[in-house]
Structure 1
Amino acid sequence: MEAERMTSQPSDIPLHVPLADIEKGRDRLAQEIVARGDDATPLLELYAWVEGQIEKRLQNRSIFEAARARVAQMKTAGQAASVNETKGLSGV
């Protein structure tokens, strides 16, 4: 899964469209599919595409959060190293 996330592509839906709106559209599409029954076959591909877009958004959000955590960790480590150097503990 980690390797899969690292190769994630951006969503084809513009970033200014909130994830909640995409999910709301997916829910409406699901209702339409159920209502149409056997006649909904043309909508199944669209539903799969929307699901894929949501997954891409979530994967990209996860990667962003991992990067944010890494930067925070680097800052904390840098501050700790800076404090240790000030106290003469640079090898500790």
Structure 2
Amino acid sequence: MNRTQVWVRIRDSFWFLPAVYSLLALIMVTIVNGLDTWLVPLIQDSMPFFFFMEKSVAQAMCGSLITSILTMTTISFSTILVVLTTYTTQFSPRTLQTL
């Protein structure tokens, strides 16, 4: 198998886009964390106090964001399963081959 065929096979894989998004998210987290560590001490004196928060407030905000993202993912997944189930029960078994 040559390089083009391998690349097409990897790109057409089910896990390709989630892996790319996860990698980009890790890179962005690293960049933002580095900027936060480097930039905040430089501008801390010129910024109003209410822009800076305690660690517990940041943890609560991250917890609520994670909960909402998991809820959104669960609802989307459940909706897709309902649509696929409805689709497969209303048509012949041959329609499963076209998915």
Fold shared, TM-score > 0.5 on shorter chain: no
Larger RCO (CA within 8 A; separation ≥ 6): 1
TM bracket, shorter-chain basis:
0.3 to 0.5
- TM-score (structure 2 length as normaliser): 0.41
- TM-score (structure 1 length as normaliser): 0.43
